[in-house]
Every structure is written in structure tokens, then in C-alpha cells.
Structure 1
Amino acid sequence: MQSSPPDSDVPRPVFLSARSLSGVLDREVVAEEDAELRKAGTVLTADRMTYSPVEDEVEATGNVELRQAEDRISGAQARLKLEDQVGFVDQASYFIKRQPKVVPAADVEQTTGFAAPRVIAIKPGQSKVKAAPKPASELTEARGEAGRIDLEGENQFRLTSATYTTCKPGSEDWYLTVADLRLDYDNEEGTGSDATVRFFDVPILHSPWLSFPLNNERKSGFLTPSYGSSNSSGIEVTVPYYWNIAPNMDATFEPRLLTKRGVQLGSQFRYLNEAFGGIYRGEALAEYLPHDRLADRDRWGVGLQYSQATASGFSGTVNYNRVSDNDYYTDLSSRITDTSRVQLLQQGTVTYSGGGWWTATANLQSFQTLEPDPKNPVTKPYRLLPQITVNARQPDLFSTDSSFYGQYTSFVHPEKALVEGQRIVLQPQISVPFVTPGWYVTPRVGVNITHYDLSYPAGSVLRPESISRTLPIFSVDSGMTFERSSIWFDREYTQTLEPRLFYLNIPYKNQDDIPIFDTALADFNFAQIFADNQFSGWDRFNNANQLTAALSSRLIDPVTGAEVMRAMIGQLFYFTDDKVALPGTTNRKWGSSDFLAAFSGQVWPRVYVDAALQYDPSDSQFERYAVGARYHPSPGRALNASYIFNTEASVPIKQVDLSGYWPITGRWQAVGRYNYSFLQNTPIEIIGGLEYNAGCWAVRTVAHRLQTAQADSTTQFFVQLELNGLSSLGSSTQSLLQRRIPGYAGGLTGSDQGLAQW
């Protein structure tokens, strides 16, 4: 007998089998001893069944088991309407396995929220914001027992006097006890009342109301509190509330208790939408700590990031950050990237792209300068009020590659005690590439025209108020590529040998009268030795009659085309003395530059090495070098080591950095980082922790010491219990470990946020 299609109005057939069948034709069938009923994906077994065809209803008693796909519900007694999938099972145990709902991207016009781990993508010619579907491999599992389970339609379950866990059968490490629990797999949400979380039978959290997502995504409600402690702020408790305002808009409110300082109020608001044929998105942050008891003042911080693009070619960004005082980050943040921030960007830009070959950008830029360490004063940069930049390029104009760069900048200093002015930079250039499969030669000519209109503070020494500089630029870039087959580590690779020569000629012009607005000596590296100017910014432009010689070699997998390793060496040879320098610095007096060498690649299975050095042949000493090794044999195992030595940095560096994440025994894993400065004779950052991963739960303990200033440090201690598919209790540690330990990918759900709302 064939079944009717699922959307047919014709009832689908029912098949009954048992050792004994009896009843009244078309009214009632009684099946006894090993009774089994099948209907369109539903299988019901029991000791005894009574089926009524008219009502399409079955009553089962004794060893009842209901199977639908991979779902299993068993109990002592059941009554079900098969077609409607409604009914109940008494004294039940259940196992429910679901794949999260997959919504085709073409059917979604907005994202499902920033908190959800989804990718936002725009296809060519598409104006709507799309949400990418979840991978089909993601599954959610739940099991437990209940005094009664009511089936309220497809994917709808209501459980009375129930337990709930995501642990595998045979493990009761954690579970929920709930007086009334509703599992809605259409909306992927679980809700309950009178709920208690038990960990190894010990109640650790109770709430009269509970809501949690069944797919590890966040939803509106209170997130589980986080706890921690630090020597600078005392015990810290944060109780966040997440508000899913709309599919493309959300907010998080985070009251944070600092026992030594007071209560800090924090909030985050995010949005994403489309308008004028493009996308706009933004994020606003605000924190306020009224009357910090240790600092004896109010403290606050704000941040705004906004970007928008239109179909007409316009785009814009806003990035504004400000805090109440110099010590805000060192006192109230645990991130090393924040504690080292001394320049807070305040910027707005508008860009127009015309025809794909030219762009124009208007930029307003300022900074809030922080000085958390009085022993290390920080220089305040100039404000750009405004800066307008034009870039244009035609890569195939009459067999030439022609380009133009133009910029106008008005420099204003916040202290009004330094020279201010306007600068105009124009740089057209044209090159004629000659390219073959084995070699290339590219001659290029250009000119840099720079003009200044300056104003000096009262009482300054008289200097020219108008300065112009014109410098012709000529260069020839050339290179060759040789290839051969080579055997490395018993495997065949393609090895290349790529010599490159770059000649540059720029005449000298005295620039001592030009003030320094935004210019510094550029970092000496492989990119810079092929650049026209050794300075960043336009206030200084070096003279040059020099040749750059470099040689690189690569190993390439001939099957995949992937680069396995690369080695490079290079040096500059000067045919004339350097006559242009920054104030307070001396000119170069030697005929060749420092020697550069670098290596990056896989040197052994799962072992990767990165190394770079700068060697001064005139003094026979290393100016800087860095070497690092990474060993990643498998997920959950990572070892990293690096050493950095740099005498040319504004603050000399001599540091060793060791980090790793490794199983030590059974389910226990150790995680740690040790970053030590030999020049300051002090650790910069120390992280040490243990993690126990039981599959359906994990616990982490992490201690973190951070040097926030030359004479100050802060120490924090975190404990986190993560219950897979439900929540994480305690202080979030994953984001800290993922930021600071390369290769770390611990955790059960891939999220360091609490999932349950209480």
C-alpha cells in the first residue's frame, strides 16, 4: 500500500502488527503482545494498543515507546492523535535530537541578530541584507524524564515535573529540574517555571522562571551573571541583560559591581540595515561609574562606530572614542590591548568612488591623548581639520600604468603652542611595464609637488610662511622567476628563485624649514626598501640614488598551489649620501643599508617557524630580530614560543613569549602564557589556568596578571562553569584565552556568552 503525499488531504495509511489482533472493522483495532504501529515516519510500540481509525487516535499501555526520526519518548501509558501529533505520554523518558532550523538566505531580508553566530553576505546586484543558513552538521540534543509529556503538535512538547540535560545517556553530571517545561523547536526556544540547575546533584542555581535557546543562540533576557576578582577593583559581579530589539538591532546592559570602587553601568547598542542601495551598521558603547571610591571621582567611557555605503558610490564612517581620565583603561579594563591605549581616535570620513578608477575621501580626525604613566609622557598629535585625498589610477592607458595622488590637509594642534598650517601634496606618475612569463622591467617617472601655508604662535622666530618643494622621481623595478622541481621531506615541490632589483633616483632639496606635522621615520622592512620615501608622511622626502637588491625563494605544492615556505634576503646600496633627516636625528653616513632576512613556513609536519632579522654590517651587530615557532599537532593542542629583540623601537624591546594549550591527563587541559621583558626585568603578562572538559560541561580556572604601567600591575582570577546547550556560570574566560594564546579553541558551544536567560 502506498502512502499519500505529505500535503495530500487523503489520510495516510496506518500499519498495525502484533501477536494478537482483534476489534470491530473500521471502528476499533486492539493489538496485544509486541504491538507496533507505523504511520508516515512515526513508530509506536507497546504491550497493548487500541487504535480508533475514525478519530485516528491510539491508546497504548505497557512499555510504550514513540519514535519519530531520531526522537525517542518512552513511558508507561500514552494517548496520541497521530495525524495532528498531539497527545500525552505518562511516566516518560525522552531523547530529542534536532538540526537547527535552516532558513534559505534568499528568504531572509534581515539578519537574525548580532549575537547570533551568523555570516552577513551581500551578493552582486543584491540590495537586501541576507542571513546565511547554519551548517547542516550542527545538531542539538536533549534528554531527561518527566511525569508527563504533552505533545502539542509537530516540534512542540510540554513536560511536567521534568528533568533536562544535554549530557550523553549514562551521564547525569548536570541537569535541570523544572516544574513545567515547554520545548518549542519551531522557534528553537525552551521556557520553564520553578527551575533548578543541579551539578552532581548539588543545586547551584534556582529561578522561578527560565528561558533558553535550543540552538545555542542568544535571546532577550537576563544572561547568567559573571564573577571575578582583581587586586585593583576587588570582587567583580556583572549581571548582563540582552535585548533582542529586532532582527537587525540589539542591545546589552551590563551593571557591574566592583566592591572596592562602586557600581559601573555599561551598555552596548548595535544595528544593521540597508538604505540607498547599500548597508549601514553601527555600534554604540557607554560606561558610567558614579563616584569611584578609590579614585574619588565619576568615571565614564563612550565609543561609537558607524559605517554606511550607498549604491551611488558614497560611503562614510564614524569612529569616536573618549574616556573620563588617563587611568580609565588601566583601572577598569582587563585587556592588554586596552591598557596600552594612549591615543583614542575621533574620526569621521566620507568617500566617493567614481567609476572604479578614482576615489575622493574627506577626513576629520582628532585624538584624546592619555598619559597613564607620568614617567612616560605622550606627545599629542595634530588634528586634521580637514584632510581631503584624491586617488586615481588607469592601469592600461595607452600601454602605460598612470596614477595620480593629491591631498589637502589643515593641521591644527590642540595646545595652540606649535606651528599650524595647510599642506597640499600632488604626485602624478606614469610607468611603462614590460612583462613576460619569466621576467619584468617597469620604468617609472613621477613628480612630488608639496606646498605649505604656515602660521606660527606669537613670539616665534620669524620663518617663511609659504614653502614649496618639487622633486622629480625616477625608478626602474625589475625581476626574474626561475622554477625547478625539488624534493623536501620526501615530497615533491616546486621551488622558485626570484631575484629583484629596484633602482630609485630623487634629487636633494633642503627641507629644514618645513615643520613636522605627521611624519616619522618609516619602519625598515621588506616593503619599505622598495618604497620611494623612507619617511611616513609628506613633511620629509629623502634624496636618493640607490639600488635595492633582494632575493626570495618559495616552496609551492604543485597539486594545490599552496605556498609551503618562503625565504627572503635584501639590502639597499646607496650611491650618494643621505642629506634629509628629521629634527634631532643624524644623517646616514654609510654606503649600504642594514641587511634584512626573513623566513616563514612549515619546517616539519605541524611545525611552523617565522623569523626575521636586521643586521648592521657597519657595526657588526644585530639591530633587531624575531623568531617564533608554532606547533599545532591537532585541535586542542598548541604550543607557541617567540623571542623579540629590537633596539630601533621608540621603546626598546627584548621579550620572550611562551604560550600553549595542551592536555595533561584524561579530560584535563592546561593553558598558559608567559611574556617577560628583559629590559624592564618584569613579566608583562602571565596567564595560567586549568580546564576540565567533560563533553556536556566544562570548568575553567584562570589567573591573569597584567603589567598596566611601568610600576603598576593588576591580577585577576576567573572561574567559569559552562553547561553545554544551556548556560555558562561565572566569569567569561574564552575571549581572554582566544585573544592571548594563539591556537586556543576551547569551549563547548563556541561562545563565551551565557545562553540561558533567568
Structure 2
Amino acid sequence: MNSLQLKFITLLVVLLITPPVKSGWFSSVSLPDESVLELIEKGPEWIPKPYKIPIEQGTLLNQKNLDRLKTGLSREQVKFLLGSPIISDAFHSEQWDYIFYSRKKGSFSTPKNITIIFANEKVREIYSQGELVTKLGEDKKQDAFIDGPIAPRFDEAYESSLQEIIISKREDFLTVTGRNKLPVCIDEEYESYDAQKTLVGADEDTLEVRSDEQNQDEQGIFYATGNVEIERAEDLVKSDKAQFNAGTGVLEAEGNVKYLTEDLTLYASKGGYNSQNDTVAFSSTTYHFPSQDRPGKGKSEDIFIDNEGIVHLTPSSYTTCSLNNPDWEFDSTKTILYREDDRGHAYNIFLKYKGVPVLYSPFISFPLSKKRHSGFLIPFVGSQGESGTVVSTPYYLNLAENFDLTFKPTSFSGRGLMLEGEFRHKTDYSENIVELANMEKDDVYGKSRHAYFVRDNRTYANTLKQKNDKWEGTLIRSNLNAGGISDLQYFDDFGNTVSSIGRTHITRDFLLEKIDYSDFGYVKSSIGATDFQLAKTGLNEQYSIFPRIRVDYNNIKKDRSFNYNFNGEFAFFDHTMPNKATGVRTMLYPSVEYPITEPGWELVPKVGIKHVDYRLDANASGLVREEISNSTPILSLKGKMIYERIAGNNILQTLEPEMYFLYIPAGNQDDNPIFDSGNTDFKYNLFAENKFYGHDKLNDAKQMTLALSSSVINTKTGNELIRGTIGQIFYLDDRSVHLNNSETSGSDASNIMGLVNAKFKDYWRLSGYTEFNPHDGHGQKNQIRLSYKKPYGKQNKIFNTSYRFERGEQEEVDVSGGLPFNSRTSLIGKVNYSFNNRRSKTEDVLERMIGIEY
């Protein structure tokens, strides 16, 4: 370590941890007898201080959007109404919090909070200031959000100038996602029969004519002109003029004709009905079915509805999107809609996407609503090397509302017939998926090939609730993931899906966990097991673990108070290879910290002791020691300051210097077996206690991390637009603990790390990472990634491109993307090009893939 670095580190440590002093460094200046941190806050004006501006933290919500918040909405709908949540706890992904508070003259206002609880990706409960507003199946309380984070109303003139843009966006999205599941499908407005009918309790022979002028000829034909309305018990006709023959029961209407029923709204140039035959016929029509779960609509030259309610359209179009600019539509010479059966049949049809024909079929059967129907899915035809021509014809079986089966026979001309099945079952408290695949005999491999995968997630008890900004209650749940393949070449031969490409092993694990919140704090206990099956050749077997028992405890965090933590684990490790060590590992890690937080800065000292104990079995591993115990103290001090300034209209910029001192006098650990530990990437080590993951190794550390971060935040939305960090670790002593050896490392500093994340508009993200080696004077690692992800129904429009470089190891470029045709089907593709990598020292395309995903 050079003298300049040593002086700088010494100065920083002295400033942060020494008691009150009289400074002798400046002969003409006398410092007050105060702590350094208090001095920075309240000292003489010549000392630079963090700039603390009056600022509002969080987001104020629009009252009208809050009024539209209700149970049953999806996460996407809530995000479109209220924006992204201010707090989303990783331990409670089903909870979103919207919080607002202000800081003026160093004091904070009372936080205002709205909490949304999700279940099965839908809003289940809504809280305001900790009080229940509504839950699934109940009405919302009146004025429930009166004390919530609500934006003040502007004067009417100003509000009306903004309202049209904001409200139309929200309404469009709710209409779309609530009905169509396609964000580009915006509904037009159609007149409603229920809103206009006037006959109540009338019999089926009742007919009422309303118009500006009426008359009747000698044959008994009624004529009406001007704002004509002809109403029966179950329908209403509106037009410019009309005539009705009471003898034949035939109505003929012309000019701006509208035919309204509970389940049909129809606009036409002319047409009418025959009340005796109970039929309806119109020409040059636009139609809409408002009663369907997914309202369908379209245009037709002629529409005829027979006495059984079957709709005949010739020729016609059909879509669930906007008629003016449909995302997709069917154009056919003839379409028949069986609304009772929720099915439609179209003949000589073209499926158009964005007005471009993408598929022709002489016949197609399709559902009229979002309800699932049994039937054939989109087939697959392709070619795969030794497998030859591949033809797959999946068939979907809707067995029940919460249970279905997809059966997929696939013919490989070079191998044989593969039969696959996927079973799905879902309840309010569980979700199960079982996948099976079997080929009786592979003509290339010479044996049978098979695979299976099982996923089961269950909740046994959930009494969690928020009270006075604290959580109370218990959550008990389990997760099961299991799977297996017949041989190591299975994914190479049959892994033609996105989820299978690149799989190196199959993880089999089970976890039963219990989470408790109480006045004593947070306790998480679990028992589980983990096993692996290799899925590629040339790889090493991993340890199986059974059982693994964990207990974690944290008391309720308080500022300027001792906060207690405990992490414990008991695990038994086994291996199939006789030369691998096996046995029990016990880990205990109690710690205590004392956070000191003030506006603009924080300081967190922490002390703990980590104990790791091994009881190993004597086997062919050549171990000398069967009992190993290590107890190591861990001391750390973390400090952070936050400088803020307004950099523009609704733009806040922060400057955040950080330091982290870590002292761990760890001894030699060469005898420790490596069960589940490894080196973590350097980007995660700046403020980490241990540079290894797992508990088999604990780094020896006497070091100081210095870093500088900066963020640009939109204060109106609370979104972070860009954040960058640069940092380096300075070593105050040599290090001798490494993953596989105990060689002494004498460098005085780590590589310099830089990290940046940026958000462009709503869907673009840019991230970059770099490591510079100051000792050799060159870059060690560079990564940059540009991504686009826009929700599209149940799928996403996706574009990713990235560049990865690691000196002497890797240089690759990736491009991938997904373009949905509709809410279930997407065109996907990926190209991975290598200039040089650890797998191949030559320039080549490592992976290419294109296909359709359903």
C-alpha cells in the first residue's frame, strides 16, 4: 500500500470513529468540543454540510384513480393506476406499499400509507393507514382514503387541461386488461340496451313506437320518421325512419339503424326483424357483444340471427380489439357464432396481425370469450439435425375450472414418437404442475428416453396482517421442485424450448418454512432437502443435502437502539463419490448492531461471532480431521452520507459517499471441506462480510471499502432514472484465506469497480459494469446490457442485447427477443456469438434459435 492511500484511509477512519477532539492540524482554527458527525451537521458555516432541501418522499396519488382501485385487479392494472410501489418487500412479494412523507427544516411529517395485498396475482385486500378498506367479496368503505397519500386538487381550469390525457390512459388500460388482456386492444364506446330500455314487466306481444311523426295506411302498416324508437320487451330499434307490418310482424328500418339487446349492440344502414319467425336481419353492419367475458365485435355485409340465436355473418370480420385499428382480426367469407356454446366457426379465413395476413385456413373454430376450451393448439413443424423432421400437434383439455391437461404427441422422423403431457391444478392455497415425456424407443440412441418434472407450492396457514405499520401473524408454506431425465444427452436432443436451452443440471428440492411476526421481531424457520441430477456431460456431481434446518431471527429494528440478529443452520451433506468428504455442518452466527440515523447521514457499527462446526465421516477422502470447529469474531462499521440538490424541473440528484470498515481475524481453513461454497462475483463484494457464498469459508479481512454513488430521481413519480456507483476495497493487511488454497495475497487494493443502471421511459433499461485493474493498468471485465420489456397480456414484448468481456476468459455478444402475436403466442429468437470464451478459443456462433412459443 503506498503512503498516499494509507494517509487517506487513516484520515477517514479518524474522522468517523474518534471521540471529540481539539484539532491541532490547523494552527489558526479551534474546533468545538463536539462529535465530528454533529459538527458536520451543526458546526461553523465554513464547514461544508450536506445540502438538505425541503423534499417530498414517495408519491401522492390521484383521488380518481384511488376511487377506481378495487379487489380483483391485476398487478399491471394497479401499477397503471397508482404507479410502481414505493416499497415491495422481497419477503412479502404479495404486498405493495405506497408511502408519502415530507421533510421541511429537518423534521418529517407523519407518513401516509396505502397497502395492497395480492393473492394469486389479484388484489385481495386494501389498507389505508393500517385500517382495512376492503377485501375480496366486500364493498369498499366510503371516504376510506381520506387520510391517505392523496394529491391536492388543482383549480378546475388547470385540472381540465390535464385530465383528458391522464384519465384516458388509465381508462384504456383498465378496459384492456380487465377484458381483453391485450394492452393494444382499446374498446370503442357502444350504446347499452340496459341504459335505454323503458318497458319493464311488459309481455312479449308489447310493442311501443316513439318518433317525431307517425301515420298508418289502409293495409295496417305503421310509418314512423324522425328519432324513431321501436321497443319490445327484449330489444330496441332506433333509426331515422321505419315501418312495421302488424299483420306479418315484419319491421323494416333505414338510416342510422341501431339494434340493441342485452347481449348485442348492432349498427347498420338498414334492416329489421320478423317477430313471427323470431329472426333478425341487417345490412352493412357493425356489431358488438357486450355480455361476453371478452367482448367481441366486427363488421359484416349481412348479418342474420335465426330463431335459435345463432349469428350468421357473410362476409365478415371478428376481433376483440378496436375496430378502427385492430391488433388482430379474423376476415372470412362466412362466420357462424354459436353464443350458447361460446364458439365461433369461420370459413376461408385470414388471421391478420396489425392488418397483415399471417395465416390462412379453410376453416377454424375459436372461442368467443376468455374461457378455456378443449381443442387443438398451434402445431409445430421443423427440423432438428439427427432428429429429422419434427411435427407436433398439441391438444388442450379443459377438464375443470382449475384443472387442465395439455397432451402433445411429437413425431421425430429420425427417432420415433414422443408423447408429452402437462397437468395443471390450482386452488386458492396451492398450485401444482406435473410434466411427463416418454419415447418408447429412440432409433438413434437405441433406448427409451423420458423426463419428468413436478412443481408444487402450498400455503397451509396465512394470518399475516399489518397493524400500526407493523406486521403480525404467521405464514406456513411449502415448495417442491423435482425432476429427472433418462440420460445426459436428453436436453441436447430434445431441449428445443427456451426453458430447456442451456440447462446443466436439474435441481430437486423441498422446503417447508414458517414465518412469524410478533412484538419480539421476525422469526423464519425452515426444513428442507436438496439434490441434483447432472444434465450435461463433463460436469462434476454436487452434494445432496438432507436435512437442512435453518433459523433466522431479527428483532424489530429501531434507531439508536441495539438490534439483535441470529442465523443458524444444521445440514447433512452426502456425495456419490467415495473420495468426497461427507458429514454434518453446524453454523451459528449471533450479531448485534447499533444504527445511528439522521437526515443526511447514517452510521451502523456491528459486532458478531460466527461459529462453524463439522462432524465428518471417515471414508476414502483421506481426511485427517473428523471434527473441525472455528469461531471467528466479525466487526464492521458502515457509514453513509447523502447530499441532495434539485437539478431541474422535478429532478433530484443525490451524491452518496460510503465507507465500510471490516475486520475478521479468520485463521487457516484448509481442512474445511467445500460442501456448498464458492467465490462470489466481485461486484457483490464491496459491502459484503464474506467474499464466499456458503459457510465453508470465511474470508480474513482487515479492509476499508470506499465508494461513491449518485442517483437522478424524478420527484413527481418517485422513479429512479439513473444510478451509478464507483468503488474500491483498500486492504490493510495481507490475506491468506482462499477457496482452494492458503497462499498469501499482498496487494494493497482491489480492482476499481463501476456500475450504472438507467431507465429510459417506461420499458427501456440500460445497465453496465466494469472492473479496472490499477496494478496492471488495463480493464479486467466489462459488461453492458440494453433491454426492452413491455407487458403484452400474459406475455411481454422483449428485446435484449448484451456484450460481455473478461480478459483471457470470455468475449461474447447476445441478441434475443420475443414478439407476441396475441396473449399466448410469440415469435422468439436468440443468437449468441463468441469472439473468444472458455468453452471455445475460436470465433463462432455458440447458439442460435428461432421459433414460436405458445
C-alpha deviation, 1:507, in angstroms: 1.0
Aligned-partner residue type, residue 445 of structure 2: A
Kept in 2: contact 1:74–1:89 (CA 8 A): no
Aligned-partner residue type, residue 600 of structure 2: G
Counterpart of 1:644 (choices 789, 804, 823) is: 804
Counterpart of 1:183 (choices 338, 351, 354) is: 338
**CA gap 1:173/1:633 in 2 versus in 1, 3 angstroms:** closer
C-alpha deviation, 1:5, in angstroms: 5.6
Tell me which residue corresponds to 2:80: none
Kept in 2: contact 1:43–1:67 (CA 8 A): yes
Deviations 1:40-74 (A, max 9, x none): 8722559863354xx9x941258695522742367
**CA gap 1:360/1:76 in 2 versus in 1, 3 angstroms:** closer
Kindly report which structure 2 residues correspond to 1:206-605, keeping only aligned pairs within 5 A, or say none. Answer: 206=362, 211-215=365-369, 218-274=372-428, 279-311=429-461, 313-335=475-497, 337-355=499-517, 357-372=522-537, 377-396=538-557, 399-458=561-620, 460-461=621-622, 463-487=624-648, 493-525=651-683, 527-583=684-740, 586-602=743-759
Say which is worse superposed, 198-207 or 424-433, in terms of deviation.
198-207
Separation (CA, whole Å) in 1 of partners of 2:695 and 2:687:
17
Kept in 2: contact 1:450–1:470 (CA 8 A): yes
Tell me which residue corresponds to 2:317: 165
C-alpha deviation, 1:589, in angstroms: 2.1
Separation (CA, whole Å) in 2 of partners of 1:368 and 1:202:
42
SS in 2 for 1:296: coil
Separation (CA, whole Å) in 2 of partners of 1:606 and 1:465:
55
Tell me which residue corresponds to 1:743: none
* Structure in which a larger fraction of residues adopt helix: 2
Deviations 1:239-274 (A, max 9, x none): 221111221111111111222222211111111113
Aligned-partner residue type, residue 531 of structure 2: S
Aligned-partner residue type, residue 14 of structure 1: E
For CA contacts below 8 A with separation 6 or more, give which structure has more relative contact order. Answer: 1
Say which is worse superposed, 229-238 or 194-203, in terms of deviation.
194-203
Structure 1 segments, 4+ long, off by >6 Å, are: 10-13, 32-35, 74-77, 169-173, 199-203, 603-607, 631-639, 669-672
Tell me which residue corresponds to 1:143: 299
Kept in 1: contact 2:423–2:433 (CA 8 A): yes
Separation (CA, whole Å) in 1 of partners of 2:550 and 2:789:
44
> RMSD over aligned Cα, in angstroms?
4.0
C-alpha deviation, 1:580, in angstroms: 1.0
Separation (CA, whole Å) in 2 of partners of 1:382 and 1:252:
35
Kept in 2: contact 1:73–1:93 (CA 8 A): yes
Kept in 1: contact 2:640–2:657 (CA 8 A): yes
C-alpha deviation, 1:561, in angstroms: 2.2
SS in 2 for 1:330: helix
**CA gap 1:282/1:682 in 2 versus in 1, 3 angstroms:** farther
Aligned-partner residue type, residue 340 of structure 1: G
Separation (CA, whole Å) in 2 of partners of 1:254 and 1:468:
54
Kept in 1: contact 2:554–2:566 (CA 8 A): yes
Kindly report which structure 2 residues correspond to 1:44-83, keeping only aligned pairs within 5 A, or say none. Answer: 49-50=243-244, 52=246, 58-61=249-252, 67-68=259-260, 70-72=265-267, 78-80=273-275
Say which is worse superposed, 461-470 or 60-69, in terms of deviation.
60-69
Deviations 1:80-125 (A, max 9, x none): 37xxxx82135866432234746xxxxxxxxxxxxxxxxxxxxxxx
Unaligned runs of 5+ in 1: 103-137, 663-668, 687-704, 707-715, 719-732, 736-751, 753-758
Kept in 2: contact 1:18–1:31 (CA 8 A): no
SS in 1 for 2:448: strand
SS in 1 for 2:527: strand
Aligned-partner residue type, residue 31 of structure 1: Y
Separation (CA, whole Å) in 2 of partners of 1:67 and 1:263:
54
Tell me which residue corresponds to 2:91: none
C-alpha deviation, 1:475, in angstroms: 0.8
Kept in 1: contact 2:581–2:619 (CA 8 A): yes
Aligned-partner residue type, residue 653 of structure 1: Q
Aligned-partner residue type, residue 326 of structure 1: L
Separation (CA, whole Å) in 2 of partners of 1:523 and 1:170:
49
Separation (CA, whole Å) in 1 of partners of 2:789 and 2:376:
38
Deviations 1:372-430 (A, max 9, x none): 4xxxx211110001111111110347922111000001000023331101000000101
C-alpha deviation, 1:20, in angstroms: 6.5
SS in 2 for 1:418: coil
Aligned-partner residue type, residue 317 of structure 1: N
Counterpart of 1:42 (choices 215, 218, 236) is: 236
**CA gap 1:631/1:382 in 2 versus in 1, 3 angstroms:** closer
**CA gap 1:101/1:416 in 2 versus in 1, 3 angstroms:** farther
Kindly report which structure 2 residues correspond to 1:598-617, keeping only aligned pairs within 5 A, or say none. Answer: 598-602=755-759, 609-617=766-774
**CA gap 1:88/1:224 in 2 versus in 1, 3 angstroms:** farther
Kept in 2: contact 1:553–1:567 (CA 8 A): yes
Normalised to the residue count of structure 1, the TM-score between the two structures is: 0.72
Kept in 2: contact 1:445–1:475 (CA 8 A): yes
* Structure in which a larger fraction of residues adopt strand: 1
Tell me which residue corresponds to 2:279: 88
Kept in 1: contact 2:670–2:742 (CA 8 A): no
SS in 2 for 1:339: coil
Separation (CA, whole Å) in 2 of partners of 1:33 and 1:604:
54
Counterpart of 2:777 (choices 603, 608, 620) is: 620
Unaligned runs of 5+ in 2: 1-194, 463-474, 820-825
Aligned-partner residue type, residue 385 of structure 1: F
Deviations 1:590-626 (A, max 9, x none): 0111111112225899975422111121222222111
**CA gap 1:612/1:151 in 2 versus in 1, 3 angstroms:** farther
Separation (CA, whole Å) in 2 of partners of 1:623 and 1:89:
76
Aligned-partner residue type, residue 439 of structure 2: L
C-alpha deviation, 1:370, in angstroms: 2.2
Separation (CA, whole Å) in 2 of partners of 1:485 and 1:321:
54
Tell me which residue corresponds to 2:30: none
C-alpha deviation, 1:76, in angstroms: 6.4
Kept in 2: contact 1:554–1:566 (CA 8 A): yes
Kept in 2: contact 1:3–1:13 (CA 8 A): no
Tell me which residue corresponds to 2:288: 97
**CA gap 1:46/1:566 in 2 versus in 1, 3 angstroms:** closer
Say which is worse superposed, 42-51 or 350-359, in terms of deviation.
42-51
SS in 1 for 2:783: strand
SS in 2 for 1:581: coil
C-alpha deviation, 1:235, in angstroms: 2.4
SS in 2 for 1:378: coil
**Aligned residues with identical type, % of pairs:** 24
Aligned length: 616
